């Protein structure tokens, strides 16, 4: 049931407003005490007024009961004094008085209706045993009482031990109590209405003031939506608004960084793509300018143009691989792969390139290794590293690839006898389009994207890559990848 109510509240558009909820809460909390106080006070007043009336009337009737004994009224009802007294008291309390004798016969009724009748009610019986009874009927507005008529000499230990000779049965009106209650109720209602108006005004003001800082936050965020500002937002009014704004500022900073790196990337990409095109244009233009160029010259220039086209193609292929890997939910096609076999195949494919510069390529495998990896992606990563080791090597140099494993990881070390990397560049080499020696890298057909792709692939396998190098002596890349893939 509560869930249903909660859902309905959540769906109601007005109640979704925190301001309206706070307002309603304050109004309810302000009104409940007023209502409770009115009900409790009026009930208490009624109880007290009835009790006072009962004790006042019962005292009066006790005196009359004594008079009845004194005038022997139970035996002879002709006493004018008593009759007048009874009529007077009945009038005074706007009620009726009956006197019942030992035979349960009504010997006097101030209304004159029931005289001679027999009354055997529970109250009368109890009263004959010496017990006063009272009964208040709030709905019809009267109190009913019975008072024993006893001959009390003053020597008895208790009145209850004296036998009752008759019973005084009276009912008195409580209209005046009800009247006072009605007046009080009206006054309380007026007071309550005034209080409610005050509560409504105060609740409205409080709910408005309390939410002003949140309005400031939303206003500041809307301003940011229209265009980034370099300023950080600040709404220090509450701890809560401070937290929201802090989180928002963090997101903003991240967005700015992303925006900056996106801009850098786009300008790098266009620059890189334009370079081979510019070379091709220069080559084509110079051929066109020479009217009687020899077929050999054409062949040479066309060869150069083909090389540039090849370069452009490589950049685009690398960019596409990078974009695919950059997708946050890039698909991993994990299978159990024999890493020794994978490396052997790679070496076989790369040996012809190494042969050009007479570079010796060796594979040292310390143990058979099988691991859960994405074969295509890992081949791409390792082939980039081995290709680099060959590309940035010297004539007659060497490349050593060694494979090892423990119970958790397998590691591939790729060592070379090449130009080396300055220590200050260890971090930058993984950035897109970054090259240590730009002209040399371009000469040998580098795009500056290889290591960025490699690191992405290794991180996707929850692995790590480290570089150590001595300039002009050689470089070692160490790759460590878990044997079992975990998402
Ligand atoms: P590129 O396509 O230019 O090789 P990479 O991202 O693969 O791009 O490498 C970035 C840069 O790191 C290279 O330009 C090169 O200067 C340097 N580098 C990478 N591997 C080696 C290596 N084995 N020896 C020396 N320098 C290297």
Phi, psi for residue 46 in degrees, rounded to 5: -60, -45
Examine the domain organization and report whether 299 and 335 are in the same domain: no
Is 189 domain-assigned?
no
Q: Strand pairing of 474-482 and 409-416?
A: antiparallel
For residue 389, the CA-to-ligand 1 centroid distance in Å is 8
Same domain, 275 and 382: no
State the closest ligand 1 atom to the C-alpha of 318, by its place in the atom list counted from 1: 2
CA of residue 323 to ligand 1 center, whole Å: 20
Ligand 1 atom closest to Cα of residue 442: 3
Can you give the pLDDT at residue 272? 84
End-to-end Cα, the chain, rounded Å: 41
Nearest CA to ligand 1 atom 20: 388
Q: Are residues 344 and 312 in the same domain?
A: no
Is 433's C-beta closer than 6 angstroms to any atom of ligand 1?
no
Asked if the structure places residue 390 within a domain, the reply is: yes
Question: What mean pLDDT value characterizes the chain?
Answer: 89
Residue 363 pLDDT exceeds 80: yes
Is the residue at 230 inside a domain? Answer: no
Asked if pLDDT for residue 1 goes beyond 80, the answer is no
Q: What is the CATH number of the domain that holds 444?
A: 3.30.565.10
Question: Rounded to whole angstroms, how far apart are CA atoms 287 and 274?
Answer: 20
Of 323, 348, 376, which residue constitutes the final position of a domain?
323
Rounded to the nearest whole angstrom, what is the distance from the C-alpha of residue 465 to the centroid of ligand 1? 14
Domain of 379 in residue numbering reads as 331-482
Task: Quick: pLDDT tens for 427-440.
Answer: 999 998 888 887 77
Say how far residue 182 (Cα) sits from the centre of its chain: 50
Between the CA of 436 and the centroid of ligand 1 the distance, in Å, is: 7
| pLDDT surpasses 90 at 465 | yes
What pLDDT is recorded for position 159?
59
Of the chain, the percentage scoring pLDDT greater than 70 comes to 93
In ligand 1, which atom is closest to the CA atom of 436?
16
CATH classification of the domain holding 302? 1.10.287.130
For residues 143 and 174, the answer to whether their CB atoms sit within 8 Å is yes
Residue 402 bridge partners (DSSP) = 364, 413
Would you say residue 197 lies in a domain?
no
Does residue 327 surpass a pLDDT of 80? Answer: no
Reported as a pLDDT band with limits 50, 70 and 90, residue 328 is low
Most confident listed range (217-226, 305-314, 474-483): 474-483
pLDDT at residue 25, as a whole number: 92
Is 393 near ligand 1, meaning CB less than 6 Å away? no
- Do 34 and 171 lie in one domain? The reply is yes
Same domain, 166 and 39: yes
In short, whether 450's Cβ falls inside 6 Å of ligand 1 is yes
Whether 351 and 452 map to the same domain: the answer is yes
Same domain, 122 and 261: no
Residues 420 and 460 grouped into a single domain: yes
3 assigned to some structural domain: no
Mean pLDDT of 142-170: 80
- 160 pLDDT above the threshold of 80: no
Confidence at 277, pLDDT banded by 50, 70, 90: very high
Which H or E run contains 193? helix 175-210
Total number of domains in the chain: 3
What pLDDT does residue 10 have?
A: 60
Q: What is the pLDDT of residue 391?
A: 92
Q: Which residues partner with 412 through β-bridges?
A: 403, 479
Do 164 and 130 fall into the same domain? yes
Model pLDDT, residue 459: 93
Residue 156 has pLDDT above 60, yes or no: no
pLDDT band at 5 (very low <50, low <70, confident <90, very high): low
- For 9-45, the pLDDT digits (tens) are 666 677 788 889 999 999 999 889 888 998 999 999 9
pLDDT at 268: 84
Q: Is there an atom of ligand 1 within 6 Å of 475 CB?
A: yes
Residue 358: pLDDT above 80? yes
User: What is the 446 CA–ligand 1 centroid distance (Å)?
Assistant: 8
**245 and 361 part of one domain:** no
State whether the beta carbon of 397 lies less than 6 angstroms from ligand 1. Answer: no
pLDDT of residue 487: 78
Q: What's the average model confidence in pLDDT over 277-286?
A: 92
Average pLDDT, integer, range 47-73? 92
Burial (Cβ within 10 Å: 0-12, 13-18, ≥19) of residue 414: buried
| CB 418 less than 6 A from any atom of ligand 1 | yes
Instruction: Give the Cα separation of 453 and 433 in Å (integer).
Output: 11
* Cα 259 to middle of ligand 1, angstroms: 26
- The pair phi, psi for residue 411, each rounded to 5°, is -130, 140
Span 270-288, mean pLDDT? 90
Rounded percentage of the chain residues whose pLDDT exceeds 90? 55
**Do 106 and 48 belong to one domain?**
yes
CATH of the domain at 138: 3.30.450.20
Q: Which DSSP helix (H) or strand (E) runs through 481? A: strand 474-482
Residues 166, 86 share a domain: yes
Q: Of 269, 293, 323, which residue sits at a domain end?
A: 323
Q: How confident is the model at residue 180 (pLDDT cuts 50, 70, 90)?
A: very high
Rounded Cα distance, 383 and 163, in Å: 122
Give the mutation target among 400, 446, 452, 476 for probing the ligand 1 site: most ligand atoms within 8 A of CB. Answer: 446
Residue 436 Cβ contacting ligand 1 at under 6 Å:
yes
Reported confidence tier of residue 260, pLDDT bands at 50, 70, 90: confident
Which of 316, 350, 388 to mutate for ligand 1's pocket (most ligand atoms within 8 Å of CB)?
388
- Ligand 1 centroid – CA 447 distance (Å): 9
Q: Ligand 1, closest atom to CA 435? A: 14
**Dist CA 208 CA 387 (whole Å):** 68
Question: Where among 279, 302, 323 does a domain terminate?
Answer: 323
Residue 148 lies in a domain: yes
Q: In a 3-state reduction of DSSP, which class is residue 217?
A: helix
Residue 399 lies in a domain: yes
- Would you say residue 5 lies in a domain? no
């Amino acid at each position: 049931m509560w869930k249903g109510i909660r859902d309905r509240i959540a769906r109601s558009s007005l109640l979704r407003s925190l301001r309206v909820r706070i307002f309603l809460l304050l109004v309810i909390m302000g009104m409940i005490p007023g209502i409770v106080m009115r009900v409790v006070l009026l009930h208490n007043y009624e109880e007290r007024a009835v009790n006072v009336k009962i004790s006042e009337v019962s005292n009066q009737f006790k005196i009359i009961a004594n008079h009845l004994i004194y005038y022997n009224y139970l035996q002879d009802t002709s006493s004018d004094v008593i009759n007048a007294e009874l009529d007077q008291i009945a009038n005074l309390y706007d009620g009726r008085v009956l006197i019942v004798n030992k035979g349960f016969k009504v010997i006097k009724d101030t209304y004159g209706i029931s005289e001679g009748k027999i009354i055997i009610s529970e109250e009368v019986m109890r009263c004959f045993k010496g017990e006063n009874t009272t009964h208040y009927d709030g709905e019809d507005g009267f109190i009913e009482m019975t008072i024993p008529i006893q001959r009390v000499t003053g020597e008895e230990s208790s009145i209850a031990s004296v036998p009752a000779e008759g019973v005084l049965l009276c009912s008195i009106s409580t209209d005046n109590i009800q009247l006072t209650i009605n007046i009080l109720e009206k006054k309380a209602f007026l007071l309550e209405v005034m209080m409610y108006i005050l509560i409504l005004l105060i609740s409205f003001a409080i709910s408005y003031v309390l939410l002003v800082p949140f309005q400031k936050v939303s206003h500041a965020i809307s301003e940011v939506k229209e265009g980034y500002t370099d300023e950080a937002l600040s709404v220090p009014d509450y701890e809560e608004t401070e937290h929201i704004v802090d989180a928002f500022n963090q997101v903003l900073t991240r967005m700015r960084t992303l925006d900056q790196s996106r801009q850098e990337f786009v300008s790098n990409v266009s620059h890189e793509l334009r370079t081979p095109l510019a070379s091709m244009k220069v080559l084509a233009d110079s051929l066109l300018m020479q009217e009687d160029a020899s077929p050999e010259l054409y062949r040479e220039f066309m060869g150069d143009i083909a090389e540039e086209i090849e370069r452009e193609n490589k950049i685009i292929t690398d960019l596409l691989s990078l974009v695919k890997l950059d997708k946050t939910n890039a698909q991993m096609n994990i299978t159990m792969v024999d890493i020794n076999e994978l490396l052997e195949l790679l070496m076989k494919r790369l040996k012809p390139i190494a042969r050009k510069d007479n570079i010796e390529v060796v594979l040292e495998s310390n143990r058979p290794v099988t691991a859960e990896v994405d074969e295509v992606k890992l081949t791409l990563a390792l082939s980039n590293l081995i290709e680099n080791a060959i590309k940035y090597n010297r004539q007659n140099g060497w490349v050593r690839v060694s494979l090892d494993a423990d119970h958790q990881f397998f590691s591939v070390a790729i060592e070379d006898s090449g130009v080396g990397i300055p220590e200050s560049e260890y971090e930058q080499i993984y950035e897109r389009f970054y090259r240590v020696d730009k002209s040399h890298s371009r000469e040998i057909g580098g795009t500056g994207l290889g290591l960025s792709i490699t690191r992405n692939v290794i991180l996707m396998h929850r692995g790590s890559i480290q570089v150590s190098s001595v300039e002009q002596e050689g470089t070692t890349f160490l790759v460590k990848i878990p044997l079992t893939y975990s998402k």
